[in-house]
Structure 1
Amino acid sequence: MAEVTAFGVGSPVRRIEDDRFVRGRGHYTDDLRFAGECFMAVVRSPHASAAIGRIDAAEALAAPGVVAVLTGRDAEADGIGGLVTAVRRRRRDGSPMAEPPYRALAVDRARFVGDAVAIVLAETAEAARDAAERVAVEYEELPAVTDAAEALAPGAPAVWPDLVPDNEAFVFEQGDRGAVDRALAAAAHVARLDFRISRVSANTLEPRNAIGLFDPGTGRYTLHSGTQSPHRLRLELAEHALFVPQSRIRVVAPDIGGAFGMKGSIYPEQILVLWAARRVGRPVRWQADRSESFLSDHHARDNLTSVELGLDGDGRFLALRVRTIANLGAYLAMNTPHSPTNNLGGLAGTYRTPAIHAEVIGVHTNTQPTAPYRGAGRPEATYAIERIIDVAAAEFGFDRIELRRRNMIRPSEMPYRTGLVFTYDCGDFPANMERALALADFDGFAERRRAAAERGRLLGLGIANPIEIAGGPEQNPGEEACEIRFDPSGGATILLGTHNHGQGHETAFRQVAHELLGLAPDRVEILYGDTDAVPHGKGTFGSRSIAAGGTALARAAGKIVARGREIAARLLEADPGDIEFAEGRFRIAGTDRSLALEEVARASFEPGRLPPSSELGLIEKAIVSARGATFPNGCHVCEAEVDPESGEWLLTRYTVVEDVGRVVNPLLVKGQVHGGVAQGFGQVAGEAIRYDAETGQLVTASFQDYRMPRAIDFPDFALESNEVPTAQNALGVKGAGEAGAVGALSAVTNAVLDALAPLGIRHLDMPLTPEQVWRAIRAAEEAGSAPQPEAVPARP
């Protein structure tokens, strides 16, 4: 057996899969080639709202290399369906929300800039794109609305005049409205804040793509596409788009260059390449470029929120009221209603608040549909509670750190029922914050602020105590599948229903397998992403993979040990009850006689060495669910320095203490937190999707207009883990995939606004661009606000 020292759970093992990636040996969808393939280009609406008239494809069809031009009418004639939402809410009157048709190709009306209205198939990608520009579509431009609040105004253009004439798709409430009303009326203090969470795009390194194949002999479809959930995509294609049994569809998701939730939904193009492949009898390939990604990838967030926090005279929280207007876009994608309603329980944060009520109003606009993006409702909830705490502290004279301490849930109170959906099973929130403050040298902040002032700079400190639900819903975390197959040489293949697209699964699951079965990493293969090879799975999303996939792996490993014990007993001529298993070996208790698991696996293929009636081979599988969702939590402390002359600002320190439960691999956790913080910072600093208010045109369709963060934007991170294992799953893990993103949005914003607070600036909506900061400073100066030094009390 190969050397396995320091490879188990908890070891900082470098990612095994990185070797092939850094050598350029990754295997992505665009690397695939198929004989006779043709290329697809999509004709997209240039209007935010328009009636579709005649589509003239004559010039396009006459262009060199063009194979076919297909429209929404053609799709209808062929019985092709579309996309449906998996999350259903209710309207204000309690009736079910309307579910407008979301076709793969629009028919009669386009509802946002980029809405697909036709496809062109050609011998090359260039020929397809050129011909797409020659498709003449008659449009009758109609009034459009892109802002959710404006869409609710009387007389606003209706995105769906017949189905949703007022644009209000649903109203979703949780909590006790009456209790909150009473508590706020009796509160000594009520802090109020209105804010906007900007619309963003995931901007994965690898743009979306899809290759469709159809076998007319078997009637079977094969889709190669970067998706987080191959099995869910197969289900959606079978039941809502192609109307065939799932057995007639194979979905293969190879290496993926980033996903972040955006690649977790079904898209029109995935339907279109399969349908087109059937129509023309050839493989069909589609690959987005960056500009098309901005137009066609599902966007995220875009919420208007009002928050009220009631406190007593001593600063104890009494009630929290949150009202959000969520921009859903023109259509309901698979998870569109999910994101704004997913984490309302997270509004409680890590604090005791007796009464909480939240209301979310989902609104249709003439924009790209929204869908989950790293955090999927969690960063927004954390932002609401952490921003309002800072506002309350400033307005009513409380110290913001002490205010958090006073209201923070203690470990002795666990399990803690928040009163708004969630029950936290475990955690030490005060320890997270105290350690983060110490690690961030909070006691030295006053001196650093004075030193910055001497250089003409404004220094601010931001803090946030994020908590998120992972692997939810809380009481129904969903199943996951794992199969462990040993081959005749004793090597093992682990088949998983999750998908690895940057998380390090090929390393982490090997570590778990080593912990449970003593398997050497070079004797294990990890297989995922192919619905033919892996019969069942849910996929990777919501920070669930290690908890859900690890639970399935643990169950399958337990079955391997049980079966292996029977075989080992036969080989060692002992009673199965006398056989112990530890560190990869079966041993007769109290003796030195033992066999390695690999030896037992090899013997399992030799009929003469097996117990009577035993099947050949050592193969076990499990489809199981964790006991419940988990609640990763932590504390983020960061410092931001502002140049008041230019409005430019930069992060100078960033500290994170995270409780992700039992840590499988510290290096992987650090990488996940670093990436999440970078994405949270990116939204605060500049990322924003914008539409022209009058025309509905997308004005941020390239990186020239959409500011992405760069490596030079970040200081070194100080990161520690505070492990509080959960009992909700077999490994004690909570999940780390979204941990950094959930806290960064509020921590960074709080830091910048703390720097500006002496100028009398109370709040600015993201993105906090230098221009916006500069204008706010100039406005404060014109209003006569004089800088006031802020007292920074020493930490007890």
Structure 2
Amino acid sequence: MGVASTLGQPVRRREDARLLAGRGRFLDDLPMPDALHMAFVRSPHPFARFQPKRPGRLTFTAESLAGRASPAQIVPPPGLDAAPVPHPLLAAGEVRYVGQPVAAVLAESRALAEDAVDAVEVAYEPLPAVDDPRAGETLVRWEKSAGDVAGAFARAAHVVRTEHVLPRLVAAPPEPRGALATVEGGQLTVWLSSESAHRARAQLAQILRRAEDSIRVVVPDVGGGFSSKGTLPVEAAVAAFAAVELGRPVRWTEDRRENALSAPQGRGVRAAVELALDADGRILALRGRVLADLGAYLLPSTAIPPHTVAMSLTGAYAVDAVEVIVTGARTHRVPTAPFRGAGRAEASFLIETAVDAAARQLRMDRIELRRRNLVRTFPHTTALGWTYDSGDYEACLDRALALVGAADGELVGVGVALWVARSGGLYETASVQRAGDDVVVTVGSTPSGQGHETVFAQLAAATLGVDPERVTVRTGDTAWLADGVGSFTARSTAMGGSAVVAAAQDLLAGGDGHARFASDQTFTSGAYAAVVEVVRATGEVRVRKLVAVDDAGRIVNPLLARGQVVGGLVQALGATVLDALPTAAEVPELVTASVESPSPLNPLGAKGISESGAIGAPAAIANAVADAIGRHLDPPYTPAAVWQALR
């Protein structure tokens, strides 16, 4: 006899009992007593020529790797032109950002390795550095248009232009990046703190010029990633190279300072948006110009966020004529890459602040202006070619307005923002096998704190009619599944979860219990509202309330969904108002709610939700600050910046 399904129920995370009791197995918890420890000599200059002294046996430089290892390949989005400037594994002759690895040093302990780094002598010749993307050479170029943009602007009753700068952000995951590499019997095994096992294996194979089947990648428990662990670190590739070269295990774990210096950063966008509107406030056309600070080199995923900004600029609005040009510039900074909400958060900020500006210029109610331009029928194909699968944007807006309520005070503002974000896509693999009365689920999606073990167990149990407690979930080992993708773009439930259901159905039908689920990307949406108070004497911005209404299709576990939204809200708070890592003391009243518009693209009707808070909150907070002080400011909203604006 089957048991009642837990789908749609707020099931508590089964992972927590293990993790809160200290029984997690993170990268540094893995025993390897004979491992050499690797530390890196890093550039103290943003741009310089350099000449190291001849390295010793346990020191690796670019010369050590020459002809035997290659930088990771750049695979740009369709139609995007990218310069051939991949990130070198180790700098050769010149450095281009503070923190760039120059040499790798190994020793019998981490302390000795760090001491050895201090003993390495490098002669630097500093050069003039570029830190403004407006002065940097172009590395990436993309443009696309649709409809009669020029004609729409020519006949428009109103033209509104806004310009914004969104600063870079450091992801700051609780667990920094790291790797542990061993070689045995010709097989290279690499343990990584990563958001993917199979993609990391493919990158290692390309970099080290090895066959994929000679490499095993294992992802243990991961202490957060926020997309900064989606790309294989160059340091991890060097550690793997050293393990092969020396025939000994090699361990690398960065410290917090290294993470801030050399891990990929997010955002870093300067943009202008122009809206052409008719006399009734309907948006006729949009022009966008996006300048992205890409940093010194291109990582495999560096070009993705600027492209996503461009494709997402119309947001929740039906705009028939669009022209967007993206330029990615080289600066002497650490490279950028996806950061939670990559590209979608920037696009939401740009279009939603532009709509508020249009409402002010037209002297029109900002909510009514939004209503007049909403996408209302689905599926909806945007002017630039993305197809929104389902949604109810007005229902989200109505719910957010009802929840935010009224606010009063001298310098109190209320801000509203809508957003639409791509999620999922590509494919994912899974297997579901019976082991007596128990079930073992293996899936290519790798968790970094989201609660995958709980959700995948719920899905398998519901499909097979068993108790979720009888289900064991395995992730993060390329030896368990021949292929897989990983966790990014809020894809795990829609893609990994659908693969689990398909594999369970295959098992019920008498097959081998395997599935590869593929789908187009889904589009999550929502409406957010913020209430802020500004202290006139100091410029301090106090967020009183944040309201998040998300439409992520059908929700498998509302408790975990809320946890993901709250995490994104707090991260957005740190990025916009605090300019620092938030603590519980700074978290305001948080109100969350859901609208469910099931996606037709997967059997669960699910979409992504893990990045929602980070996407929707920045624009809502920005519009609330503008409402409070009477003018728009770009984040972060530090007391000094706001105090100056008040004067």
Cα distance in 1 for residues equivalent to 2:382 and 2:488: 24
Aligned partner (choices 317, 326, 345) of residue 283 of structure 2: 317
Amino acid at match of 1:261: S
Amino acid at match of 1:47: H
Deviations 1:295-345 (A, max 9, x none): 110011101001111111111111111101011111110100111102433
SS at match of 1:656: strand
Partner of 1:292: 258
Aligned partner (choices 21, 24, 45) of residue 26 of structure 1: 24
Aligned-pair identity (%):
40
Deviates more, 1:629-638 or 1:48-57: 48-57
Amino acid at match of 2:186: G
Change (3 A) 1:516 1:90: closer
Partner of 1:73: 63
Aligned partner (choices 155, 175, 185) of residue 186 of structure 1: 155
Following superposition, the deviation at residue 56 of structure 1 comes to 4.4
Amino acid at match of 1:20: R
Contact 1:90 1:170 in 2 (8 A): no
Contact 1:84 1:102 in 2 (8 A): no
Partner of 1:104: 89
Cα distance in 1 for residues equivalent to 2:283 and 2:275: 7
Cα distance in 1 for residues equivalent to 2:451 and 2:239: 30
Aligned partner (choices 579, 582, 592) of residue 709 of structure 1: 582
Are 1:678 and 2:647 counterparts?
A: no
Aligned partner (choices 117, 120, 125) of residue 102 of structure 2: 117
Cα distance in 2 for residues equivalent to 1:171 and 1:525: 46
Deviations 1:406-450 (A, max 9, x none): 11122xx22222212222221111111111111222xxx2xx32x
Are 1:466 and 2:419 counterparts?
A: yes
SS at match of 1:321: strand
Following superposition, the deviation at residue 466 of structure 1 comes to 1.0
Partner of 1:428: 392
Following superposition, the deviation at residue 88 of structure 1 comes to 5.5
Where does the alignment leave 5 or more consecutive residues of structure 1 unmatched?
A: 62-66, 152-166, 472-476, 564-617, 688-706, 779-796
Are 1:336 and 2:315 counterparts?
A: no
Are 1:738 and 2:611 counterparts?
A: yes
Are 1:85 and 2:74 counterparts?
A: yes
Are 1:209 and 2:178 counterparts?
A: yes
Contact 2:164 2:634 in 1 (8 A): yes
Contact 1:84 1:332 in 2 (8 A): no
Aligned partner (choices 219, 222, 228) of residue 189 of structure 2: 222
Are 1:491 and 2:438 counterparts?
A: yes
Cα distance in 2 for residues equivalent to 1:415 and 1:409: 10
Following superposition, the deviation at residue 467 of structure 1 comes to 0.8
Cα distance in 1 for residues equivalent to 2:440 and 2:186: 30
SS at match of 1:468: strand
Amino acid at match of 1:434: D
Deviations 1:172-203 (A, max 9, x none): 01223x72222112211111111101101100
Q: How does 1:449-528 map to 2 (within 5 A)?
A: 449=408, 452-453=409-410, 458-471=411-424, 477-487=425-435, 489-528=436-475
Contact 1:89 1:97 in 2 (8 A): no
Partner of 1:647: 539
Cα distance in 1 for residues equivalent to 2:342 and 2:571: 13
SS at match of 2:201: helix
Deviations 1:503-522 (A, max 9, x none): 11111111111221112112
Cα distance in 2 for residues equivalent to 1:306 and 1:460: 24
Following superposition, the deviation at residue 69 of structure 1 comes to 1.3
Cα distance in 2 for residues equivalent to 1:4 and 1:434: 38
SS at match of 1:467: strand
Aligned partner (choices 619, 628, 636) of residue 755 of structure 1: 628
Contact 1:343 1:469 in 2 (8 A): no
Amino acid at match of 2:10: P
Cα distance in 2 for residues equivalent to 1:711 and 1:421: 42
Deviations 1:509-560 (A, max 9, x none): 1111122111211211000101112221100000111111122112212211
Partner of 1:621: 514
Partner of 2:292: 326
Cα distance in 2 for residues equivalent to 1:101 and 1:482: 33
Partner of 2:121: 136
SS at match of 1:764: coil
Cα distance in 2 for residues equivalent to 1:400 and 1:307: 17
Cα distance in 2 for residues equivalent to 1:238 and 1:777: 55
SS at match of 2:33: coil
Partner of 1:236: 203
Partner of 2:140: 170
SS at match of 2:50: strand
Q: How does 1:294-309 map to 2 (within 5 A)?
A: 294-309=260-275
Cα distance in 1 for residues equivalent to 2:502 and 2:459: 12
Aligned partner (choices 345, 355, 375) of residue 379 of structure 1: 345
SS at match of 1:103: coil
Q: How does 1:572-651 map to 2 (within 5 A)?
A: 619-626=512-519, 628-651=520-543
Deviations 1:459-484 (A, max 9, x none): 0001011111111xxxxx21210101
Partner of 1:49: 47
Cα distance in 2 for residues equivalent to 1:242 and 1:425: 40
Following superposition, the deviation at residue 145 of structure 1 comes to 0.4
Are 1:666 and 2:558 counterparts?
A: yes
Partner of 2:168: 199
Cα distance in 1 for residues equivalent to 2:524 and 2:183: 43
SS at match of 1:360: strand
Where does the alignment leave 5 or more consecutive residues of structure 2 unmatched?
A: none
Contact 1:348 1:420 in 2 (8 A): no
- Select the structure of larger CA radius of gyration: 1
Cα distance in 1 for residues equivalent to 2:449 and 2:589: 21
Cα distance in 2 for residues equivalent to 1:82 and 1:425: 37
Contact 2:282 2:373 in 1 (8 A): yes
SS at match of 1:102: coil
Please report the TM-score for the alignment, with normalisation by the length of structure 1: 0.79
Deviations 1:251-302 (A, max 9, x none): 1110000011110001111111111112222111111111011111001110
Q: CA RMSD in A?
A: 1.6
Aligned partner (choices 130, 134, 143) of residue 149 of structure 1: 134
Aligned partner (choices 370, 376, 388) of residue 404 of structure 1: 370
Contact 1:198 1:683 in 2 (8 A): no
Amino acid at match of 1:309: L
Cα distance in 1 for residues equivalent to 2:578 and 2:562: 24
